[in-house]
């Protein structure tokens, strides 16, 4: 907000200074860009950092690495613990397999006894015994499966912990998110940073914006995507001309700064307007500019 007030004061001052010019522009302001501050998503020592002020970076470029030794050791420990837990469930599965084989054998014996019972060669007691044995086997399997549930939950917990550590390791590799130029570098290699610590600031300077302020009487003639003429100082007497496009018009009015002493000026309302300009490399953030609405 403070920066906007400074820009607003600058615009009003420029407007007042040029009020006597026959070829005065319709609005004045300064150039700005969308600036993004890239911060560390993990804590630790910076192993390397390739962001240098003034260098151009591409989206997807690896920029920095935060020490991942402790995280890697933690992940290896979790993988080992998961393997140990997995061995437990393997043993339980093996026990179930053995009992299932015993059930198959018992079912064969049962079928043979039923045939003998029909022929009068086997007793009811023998059939009851084999049925009882099958029931015991089923209960044993049910009991073993119950023992396996906590182990399966433990394995699921290890999977989530390993995924969490892997994500932390991934976040330790800082990847540049956008195309742009490094404006400011906040950290250096070998420094220890915390989560959220700013590493560098980047902005796409290929397209830059001129923020100007217009009066309420000018506002009805402006619309989004409207082409305008942008002027910057070429030398003391000449201007350099660019084509601009209105990309944003403020929906809210602002009072002119109180630095304007007359009551008439203090109650005037102005509206912020952003004009997108293709940068040929000469336009800089903070450079003054003016615009003529065609």
- Does the structure show a pLDDT above 80 at 157? yes
Strands 56-57 and 180-185: antiparallel
pLDDT tens-place string over residues 63-100: 999 999 999 999 999 999 999 988 888 888 888 888 88
**CATH fit for domain 69-171, picks 1.10.287, 1.10.3470, 1.10.600, 3.90.1640:** 1.10.287
- Does the structure show a pLDDT above 90 at 121? no
Once rounded to an integer, what is the mean pLDDT over residues 266-277? 85
Q: Which CATH class is domain 2-33+205-292?
A: mainly beta
Name which residue leads in pLDDT, 141 or 294: 141
pLDDT band at 149 (very low <50, low <70, confident <90, very high): confident
Range(s) of the chain covered by CATH 2.40.30.170: 2-33+205-292
Range(s) of the chain covered by CATH 2.40.50.100: 44-66+177-203
| Structure token pair of residue 243 | 């084509």
pLDDT band at 1 (very low <50, low <70, confident <90, very high): very low
Once rounded to an integer, what is the mean pLDDT over residues 238-249? 93
Name which residue leads in pLDDT, 90 or 52: 52
Name which residue leads in pLDDT, 255 or 235: 235
**CATH fit for domain 44-66+177-203, picks 2.40.50.100, 3.40.50.920, 2.40.40.20, 3.30.70.20:** 2.40.50.100
> What's the count of helices (H) and strands (E) in the chain, helices before strands?
4, 15
Range(s) of the chain covered by CATH 1.10.287: 69-171
Burial of 236-263, coded b for 16+ CB within 10 Å and e otherwise, reads: eeebeebebbbbeeeeeeeebbeebeee
pLDDT band at 262 (very low <50, low <70, confident <90, very high): low
pLDDT over 90 percentage in the chain? 54
């Amino acid at each position: 907000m403070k920066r906007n007030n400074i820009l607003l004061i600058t615009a009003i001052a420029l407007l007042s200074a040029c009020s006597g010019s026959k070829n005065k522009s319709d609005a004045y302001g300064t150039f700005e860009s969308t600036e993004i501050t890239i911060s560390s998503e993990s804590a630790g020592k910076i192993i390397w950092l390739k962001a240098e002020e003034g260098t151009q970076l591409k989206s997807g470029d690896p920029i920095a690495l935060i020490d991942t030794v402790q995280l890697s050791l933690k992940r290896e420990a979790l993988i080992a613990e998961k393997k140990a837990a997995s061995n437990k469930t393997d043993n339980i599965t093996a026990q179930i397999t053995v009992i299932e084989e015993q059930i198959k054998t018992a079912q064969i014996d049962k079928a043979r006894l039923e045939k003998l019972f029909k022929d009068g060669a086997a007793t009811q007691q023998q059939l009851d015994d084999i049925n009882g044995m099958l029931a015991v086997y089923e209960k044993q399997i049910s009991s073993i499966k119950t023992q396996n549930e906590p182990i399966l939950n433990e394995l699921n917990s290890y999977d989530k912990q390993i995924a969490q550590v892997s994500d932390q390791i991934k976040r330790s590799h800082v990847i540049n998110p956008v195309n742009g130029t490094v404006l400011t570098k906040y950290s250096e290699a070998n420094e220890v940073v915390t989560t959220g610590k700013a590493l560098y600031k980047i902005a796409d300077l290929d397209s830059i914006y001129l923020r100007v302020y217009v009066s309420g009487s000018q506002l009805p003639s402006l619309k989004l995507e409207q082409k305008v003429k942008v002027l910057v100082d070429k030398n003391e007497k000449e201007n350099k001309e660019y084509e601009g496009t209105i990309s944003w018009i403020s929906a809210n009015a602002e009072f002119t700064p109180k630095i304007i002493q007359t009551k008439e000026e203090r109650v005037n309302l102005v509206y912020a307007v952003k004009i997108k300009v293709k940068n040929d490399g000469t336009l800089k953030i903070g450079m003054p500019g003016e615009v003529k609405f065609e």
